[in-house]
Every structure is written in C-alpha cells, then in structure tokens.
Structure 1
Amino acid sequence: MSSAPVEGSFSDLLAGLVRGDPNEFLHLLKEYEIPTTLDGTRTVVRTHFLAVDAGGAPAVDLLASAMARAAMDFCIPRARVEEAVEYLQRTRSTSHFSRLEQQARELFVDADGTGEGGELLLFLLMERLLGLPQLLAKMSLKTSSNVHVHGSDGVHASLGEDGILDVYWGESKLYKSSSDAFTDCFDSIAPFLAADGAETRKRDLLLVRDNLNVQHADLASHLLEYFDESSPRRLKVRWNGACLVGFDHGDYPNLDSLEAAQSKQLSNAVQRWRAAVGRRLTQHNLVQVGIDVFCIPVPDVDALRKAVRAKLGVS
C-alpha cells in the first residue's frame, strides 16, 4: 500500500493549480522600481504602469483584452472546466467551453461603476505573478448578474512545507482618486486581516469549505482540515492580504523613454503612494500582517473599466 502524500507534496499540488502563462500578460504592466518592503512592516508594494505602444499610446485595449480572457478562469470552478476538457476529448467539440465562456461573461454586473474589472486584474496578478491559486470561484455563486458578491474580492492560498497554510484575502479598488482608492481598499480588507476578525472571515471561510475550488481529492481533503475548527491544522493558518489599487495618473509616462525630470517626478509619486500605504497600515494595525500591494496608475480608470466591459460584451 502506498503511503499518504507528505506535506511538501501537498504544497506542490496546490502550487500546481496556478493557471495561465504570465508571459501572455505581464508585458502589458511594466514594473517601476523594484518591489519594496515598507520599513517596520511585512507589506510589499509593487508599482506597475501600462506599457506604451510604438505610437506612444498606453496599452489600455490590450490589457482589457487580457483581463477579459481571464473571465472563465476567474469565474468558473475547475470541476466544470475539467468536464469541458473531458467532453472535448470524447467528442472533439468545444461547445462546452463556449457555454462556460458565455456563462462567465454573463456573471458580470450589468451596470457601470462595478469593481469587477479590478477583481479580474487582481486575480491575474495573484495567480500569474504571485503564483497563488484560487481557492474559491466566488463569482460562480452569484444568483444574478445584477448583484455583487459580498465579502472579499478573492481567496487564494499557498501551503508551506512546514504545514502553514497562507490564506490571502484579495481586495481591489479602481478609483479616479489615489487617496480614495487607498482609503477604501484598506477599509475593506482590514476586517479580514485583523486579529479579532474571525466573524468577518467566517462567511467567506464557510464558502471556501463548501465550494473549495480544488479537484485533487487528497489535496482537497487536506486543505479542508485547515477550515475545520475541530482539527489541529486550524491552528496552522496565517492570514495575508493582496491589494490592487488603481487610479488616474495624468501625463502618462513611457517607462522606456523617461527624461530625468519625469523620472524624478515619478519616483516622488511612488514615494507618496508608499507613504499612503504605510499610513493606512498603521491606522488599521496591520503592520505585522503580510500584504502584497499593487499600485497601478492608469491614464483613465473609467476608460479601462469601459474597455474591459466592452471586451466582455457587457452593455
């Protein structure tokens, strides 16, 4: 009889659930300066600007296309995708994939101002840049395209060989004002990360337990022990955050051809954004919580949102 998988094997199995090729997406978001851990905290701040095409235009349309292509991965549980794979292999027909793509697009709210475009982008960054697989396909739980899903914007995880499950709560905000975006983002995610946040986390953890987006039976059984209050593994869970803060930025830069004055101006702006994160970490008592923050200035948040909706076919 074969022995049960060791802890490290479960870690590899979970990491193997990450989907997509980062080379199809990350070239559209150019990193500015290196990721920086804020002094006295466990928060890493990353700043990305949209790539600029040969004509000098920021790649809003291409980014919107990449985000829309991720809709099925973001919305549809892996079990249903695997059923479509099996159907393709058995019948050579892609009709089940077409159906899933249509269902994914129909889940998005049929109204302007929705934050679900930001959720798509955060999903891509968490899976393809941070390598954190999704535990809950929360959009699939929507009962109507005209309502939002409450709670966090995403639940992802990694499992260390020491048996610690790092759960990442996602929160995304796309606002015209950077100040408003930072404020609302941390106001929203703080209750999930606070030491006394058990009640806030409870609803989403019940959803994870009942709708775990994991196909491998042994891995699923292992992970569920971390969400079982009667299991010793419940003590080996660490709460983390992943934040996407997008906002308008005028005089949009081309990072490949910065002049000295513009480079200095950008560095000063990045310092202000990092300081804004630091103030909110202190305000919410989150300095000792592991958080990855993506600052993504764009030429026009509303234009990006509308471009994503157009690519998704949402009127």
Structure 2
Amino acid sequence: MKPDEENLAKALEALLNPSNVDDFVRCAATHEFDLDALPPISLLHPRFNEDVPKVTDLAEFLWRQCFFYALPRRKQKKFKDAMDADITMVMDVNRRIQSAFMEYSTKNPARSSEIGEVIAYVLVQHLLKAPQVAAKMALKTSGNMPVHGLDGIHATFEAGAMTIYFLEAKLSYAANAGAKAYAASAKEFLADRKQYLREFEIVSDLGNLDALTGADREAALDYFDVIGQPGLQRRERYVGVICYTERKIYADRIPVGSAPITAHEEYFSGRLRSKMERFRKSARKHIAAAGGDPAKCLVFFLAVPDVNQLRRDFYSAMGMAPPPDLPVDEDGDDDDDEEEVATSTEETA
C-alpha cells in the first residue's frame, strides 16, 4: 500500500464510532467470502441473561447509538462541546435526536421501522469495520417522513481501493420474507441511475468526510466523485440487514438447571447456526431472481423473539412509548420452499 493510501485507510478507520456491540449481540456464524458459498451471511441474536434474551437491553443500546447514527460528525462535536460546558444540554440533545425519528404508528407499526436502519449501522460498523460516511437522518426535513433512497452508506479503504457499502435494512416476520424484500430493494436502487448518483453526491456534499483534513479528505472525496474521477477503483457491495421474528428456535428451550449459566445462549446459538445454509440458499435465490450478483452481496440476519416487541422497546427507550395493547403479528412460517405473504400487522418493512 502506498503511503497516501495507508494514510487514507487510517483516516477512514478513525471515523468509526465507539460501540460495545458484543455486549448486546452475539454472532452465531460470521460471514466468510467463499466462492463456493455465496452470498456471505452472518447469523446474529441478542445476548442472553441466563435463559432470557436481552431484547430490551438491545433496544436501549440501539437508542444510545443514535447519537452517532443520526447526527453528522460536525453536530456530534458541537453537542459534545455543549454537554461538556453544561450537562443539562443532554436533554436538548436527546430531544433533537428523538425529533428525527418517525412517530410510532399504532395503525401501521411497520411504518415505524427506522430501528432497522440503526441495527444496520451498528452491525456494519462492527462486522465490516466500515464507518458511516453520510448521516442520512440529518437530511430529513420532517421527522415523520422516511429517509429516501438507501438506508445507509459506509466505506472502508483496503487493498488499494475504496469499498463502498450500500445498506438496506428490513424488519420482517420471517427470515425468508426479509431476504426477498432486501433483494427487491437492491434491484430497485440499481435500476435508478439518478438515485445512484444522488447517493454519491450526498456523501460528497453533506457527508461525514468533512471530518477528515487535508490530503486525506480530498482523496476520500475523489472516490465519491463518480463523474469527475471515473478512473478510480471502487468496490460496491450491497448489504442486507434483516431483523426477523424467530419463533421456532426461541420456543425450543432447554430447562433451567445446574448447567453453566451460558448454556441457554450456547444452545440457541447452535440451533441458529444449523440454519445457516438454508438462509444462504434463501438469500441466493432471491438475489438471483432480482438479477443481483451474490458475490457482491452480504446478508446479516438478526433473530429476535418478536420484531414488534423490539420496535416497541426501542420507542420506549427513546421516550416515545406506544400503547401496550397493540396487536402482535401472526406467526409466519420461515420455510425456504414456501412463498410467504405478509398479511399480518407486521408487514416486511
């Protein structure tokens, strides 16, 4: 690696935000790039407290991460300085971040799915070591409107080229349905050249690369100038982060007894790993059907007992708790050979 390339790699790495993901999420199976096993996938789940998955703890962690996810780095610094000078500014910062999120919709809970984007941000930072290069939440003119286009843009510099990760996040009643929705969204994005170029403009004009300085900043910006710098090498990868309701494995519990306190988490993690090839086959099928290249896709599956409950816990952590008597989603069979239709209150979002 040339000296300037090494500096650029280190500069981008410095944009990674602090995050103790391992305390709240366990990776049961980690992605590996293998031409005989595409796409690369990871299977994840919340940590356990003995036999209880720590879903509420995960939701609260995700809300705390919104300081980094929702705010551009310039505002992060501004608010950090303000809180250092006056600790009561914490309340104002909390309100500012809260206002960027859509209100919880009791009639259509799937509309309130921005937690999926936060999950995607956290996991891509953690698993791919790729910082967010554009805080798209900051582009919203109304908190009650979704962010248009991609759910996230991250990047890292390695092997002499910039790798750009385009993120699509899905909350789903089943893993297969989530994989299908991800593939459809990726296809829609790739078919829209205007939106594709707009995403690069967002990074160049409004992104977090402003936090870099001097030659590193100019070099990074060049990689996002696809019109003006067509000769630069860029890898583009399409990351699907699917948080889904996993009823069957959570229902298959071992008795509480004298076994090591980690036995329940280990048992669940092992059962989830047994689904790895099934999930890979499902993702590959949907990516291929959408005309995508499995070698350019990475898919992360986060298994939770109920995505509706995770959504409610997130809004409670935010201070925007929805009513407790909301309807829950119907059971969805995650059979790779069956076509699933989202007819419940929990549509894939």
TM-score when normalising by structure 1? 0.86
Q: Tell me if the contact between 1:119 and 1:172 (Cα under 8 Å) persists in the aligned partners.
A: yes
The answer to whether residue 171 in structure 2 is matched with residue 178 in structure 1 is no
Could you tell me which of 140, 150, 156 is aligned with 1:152? 150
* Shift in alpha-carbon separation, 1:106–1:250, aligned structure 2, 3 A: same
How far, CA to CA, are the matches of 2:268 and 2:26 in structure 1? Answer: 16
* Shift in alpha-carbon separation, 1:69–1:235, aligned structure 2, 3 A: same
* Shift in alpha-carbon separation, 1:48–1:260, aligned structure 2, 3 A: closer
Q: Tell me if the contact between 2:32 and 2:41 (Cα under 8 Å) persists in the aligned partners.
A: yes
* Shift in alpha-carbon separation, 1:36–1:254, aligned structure 2, 3 A: farther
Partner residue in 1 for 2:325: none
Partner residue in 2 for 1:232: 229
Q: Tell me if the contact between 2:288 and 2:294 (Cα under 8 Å) persists in the aligned partners.
A: no
Q: Tell me if the contact between 1:173 and 1:185 (Cα under 8 Å) persists in the aligned partners.
A: yes
Partner residue in 2 for 1:71: 66
Tell me how large the CA RMSD over aligned residues is.
2.8
Q: Tell me if the contact between 2:134 and 2:207 (Cα under 8 Å) persists in the aligned partners.
A: yes
Q: Tell me if the contact between 1:239 and 1:289 (Cα under 8 Å) persists in the aligned partners.
A: no
Partner residue in 2 for 1:201: 196
How far, CA to CA, are the matches of 2:303 and 2:243 in structure 1? Answer: 5
Partner residue in 2 for 1:93: 86
- Which consecutive unaligned segments of at least 5 residues does structure 1 have? none
How far, CA to CA, are the matches of 1:154 and 1:300 in structure 2? Answer: 24
* Shift in alpha-carbon separation, 1:96–1:289, aligned structure 2, 3 A: farther
How far, CA to CA, are the matches of 1:88 and 1:259 in structure 2? Answer: 38
Q: Tell me if the contact between 1:226 and 1:234 (Cα under 8 Å) persists in the aligned partners.
A: no
Identity %: 22
Task: Choose 280-289 or 261-270, whichever is displaced more.
Answer: 261-270
User: How do 1:208-287 residues align onto structure 2 when only pairs under 5 Å count?
Assistant: 208-214=203-209, 215-218=211-214, 219-232=216-229, 235-251=232-248, 252=250, 256-257=262-263, 266-287=272-293
How far, CA to CA, are the matches of 2:123 and 2:277 in structure 1? Answer: 22
How far, CA to CA, are the matches of 1:80 and 1:240 in structure 2? Answer: 28
How far, CA to CA, are the matches of 1:285 and 1:18 in structure 2? Answer: 32
Could you tell me which of 35, 48, 51 is aligned with 1:52? 48
* Shift in alpha-carbon separation, 1:268–1:83, aligned structure 2, 3 A: closer
Partner residue in 1 for 2:302: 296
* Shift in alpha-carbon separation, 1:262–1:96, aligned structure 2, 3 A: closer
The answer to whether residue 67 in structure 2 is matched with residue 80 in structure 1 is no
- Which consecutive unaligned segments of at least 5 residues does structure 2 have? 255-261, 322-349
Once the 2 structures are TM-superposed, how far is the Cα of residue 264 of structure 1 from its aligned partner?
Answer: 7.9
Once the 2 structures are TM-superposed, how far is the Cα of residue 30 of structure 1 from its aligned partner?
Answer: 1.9
Once the 2 structures are TM-superposed, how far is the Cα of residue 267 of structure 1 from its aligned partner?
Answer: 4.6
Give the aligned length.
304
How far, CA to CA, are the matches of 1:87 and 1:118 in structure 2? Answer: 29
How far, CA to CA, are the matches of 1:204 and 1:306 in structure 2? Answer: 30
Question: For residue 49 of structure 1, what is the amino acid of its counterpart?
Answer: H
Task: Choose 66-75 or 235-244, whichever is displaced more.
Answer: 235-244
Q: Tell me if the contact between 1:43 and 1:292 (Cα under 8 Å) persists in the aligned partners.
A: yes
* Shift in alpha-carbon separation, 1:60–1:170, aligned structure 2, 3 A: same
Once the 2 structures are TM-superposed, how far is the Cα of residue 139 of structure 1 from its aligned partner?
Answer: 0.3
Once the 2 structures are TM-superposed, how far is the Cα of residue 261 of structure 1 from its aligned partner?
Answer: 10
Question: For residue 102 of structure 2, what is the amino acid of its counterpart?
Answer: V
Q: Tell me if the contact between 2:28 and 2:270 (Cα under 8 Å) persists in the aligned partners.
A: no
How far, CA to CA, are the matches of 1:16 and 1:265 in structure 2? Answer: 37
* Shift in alpha-carbon separation, 1:6–1:61, aligned structure 2, 3 A: same
Does the residue aligned with 1:245 lie in a helix, a strand or coil? strand
Q: Tell me if the contact between 1:81 and 1:97 (Cα under 8 Å) persists in the aligned partners.
A: no
Once the 2 structures are TM-superposed, how far is the Cα of residue 34 of structure 1 from its aligned partner?
Answer: 4.2
The answer to whether residue 112 in structure 2 is matched with residue 117 in structure 1 is no
Does the residue aligned with 2:149 lie in a helix, a strand or coil? coil
Could you tell me which of 298, 305, 313 is aligned with 2:311? 305
The answer to whether residue 320 in structure 2 is matched with residue 314 in structure 1 is yes
